[in-house]
Amino acid sequence: MRIAIVRTVLHKGSGQVVHIRELARALRARGHEITVFTLRAEERPEGVEVVEVPARRVWRLVRHFSGYQLVHSQYHPCLYAGGLAHRRGLPHVFTFHGFAPIRHWNSARQRVKMVRRRLGTFLGLRLGVDGFIAVSRFLADALASRYLVPRDRIEVVYNGVDVSRFSPSVDGGPIREKYGLNGKKVVLYLGRLTRYKGAQFLLSAAPQVLREIPNAHFLIAGSLRNDVLDLPGMARRLGIERHVTFTGFIPDEDIPSLYRAADLFCYPSLWEGFGLTPAEAMASGTPVVAFRCTAVPEVVVHGRTGLLVRPGDVAALARAISTLLEDGERRRRMGQAGREHVLENFRWDLAAQRTEAVYQRVLEAR
């Protein structure tokens, strides 16, 4: 079938762009013709047809959907393009990726933006959606309770991981060489440097970890977006700056090696709609330490593929990190179990198969 996937902006380094890219590739491998429509393409994923429409308003995308059998919108405000297409008789599927709580943002501008997105999503859903997808059970429940979508109409389709790209066979040596990490026990954080993603909790836990593991080193990798924290300043105030490396933006091609360079991956995020980076770390054979909240427990199995602690509990976070750094055999077992867990549950071919089933049901109902 011919499917139009829609997102207003394809942001460079965005997890949702990874979702769109990998889903489009996997659907194409199943014989479908996929086109991604956007108002602005900061990134053009290789192997995916992207049509950039030079317009300011998302509703102008609708005129380009002629000849397609279904529109699949991914976020607000492109949800409106899907809703208007629905009004014109074209089936519309919407994937809910969720929104981080407003309280987690420092920036007043960003808070206003998130309020507008929530309200816009609630109203946009009223234009018409034929099929609902959420990328976790946590988000499916939120879509039902906050946006008043009947829970039995929402299909949970987990994100996937490119298990050939993220693999224990990848060599982490080049990253260790580049950042002088040989002989160190490396704790990796990879994500946006914004408050709700939680890198500040990892730095707060670092002094306790270093008292027990003096050769621990904290590799903080992430791009700067809204609500940036002064993490280097925090490291200086804590007196741990020589034990911390801030990499800045990491090119996409280096990320698999980054996971393999780490002894464990720490992701103390306060809100995740799915948790793609923990899944990528597990696919790489790297155990995970994270907060037990939102969708993270659907991805990381406590005691098997990693350790989960109470959100915001810095002492417990430090203990979990130290426990795993001290036990190489346990890290190895967890890494192997994490790889197996991803292979069983979080592959893009599975996501495409389940998404295709939603498409089929929608088309049959129409």
Handedness of CA 246, 251, 252, 253 (dihedral sign): negative
pTM listed for this prediction: 0.94
3-state percent breakdown (helix, strand, coil) of the chain, nearest 5? 45, 20, 35
**What pLDDT is attached to residue 228?**
65
How far is the CA of 110 from the CAs of 86, 127, 180, 205, 365, in angstroms? 30, 26, 36, 27, 39
251 preceded by cis ω (within 30°)? no
65 DSSP 8-state letter: G
Neighbours of 358 (CB within 10 A): 19
**What pLDDT is attached to residue 114?**
83
**What pLDDT is attached to residue 342?**
98
**What pLDDT is attached to residue 111?**
83
Return the half-sphere exposure (C-beta side, CA atoms, 13 A cut-off) of residue 345.
20
Burial bucket for residue 103 (CB in 10 Å: 0-12, 13-18, 19+): exposed
Q: Rounded CA gap, 226 and 363, in Å?
A: 39
The DSSP line for 242-303 is GGEEEEES--GGGHHHHHHH-SEEEE--S--SS-HHHHHHHHTT--EEEES-TTHHHHS-BT
**What pLDDT is attached to residue 78?**
93
Contacts of 175 (CB under 8 A, 6+ apart): 181, 254, 257, 258, 260, 261
Choose among 286, 253, 282: nearest CA to 175: 253
**What pLDDT is attached to residue 249?**
87
247, 302, 104, 248 alpha-carbon torsion, rounded to 10°: 10
Q: Rounded CA gap, 194 and 227, in Å?
A: 5
Q: Which amino acid is at 89?
A: G
**What pLDDT is attached to residue 222?**
87
Q: What is the pLDDT along the chain (366 residues), one digit of tens a residue?
A: 999 999 999 988 788 899 999 999 999 999 999 999 999 999 888 889 999 998 888 888 999 999 999 999 998 899 999 999 999 999 999 999 998 887 777 777 878 888 888 999 999 999 999 999 999 999 999 999 999 999 999 999 999 999 999 999 999 999 999 999 999 999 999 998 888 999 999 999 999 999 999 999 999 998 765 556 789 999 999 999 999 999 998 988 999 999 999 999 999 999 999 999 999 999 999 999 999 999 999 999 999 999 999 999 999 999 999 999 999 999 999 999 999 999 999 999 999 999 999 999 999 997
Please give the structure tokens belonging to residue 316.
Answer: 């417990």
Asked whether the beta carbons of 361 and 152 are under 8 A apart, the reply is no
Provide the pairing of β-strand 33-38 with 288-291.
unpaired
**What pLDDT is attached to residue 227?**
56
Domains, the chain, in order of start with CATH, read 2-160+347-365 (3.40.50.2000), 173-345 (3.40.50.2000)
**What pLDDT is attached to residue 61?**
92
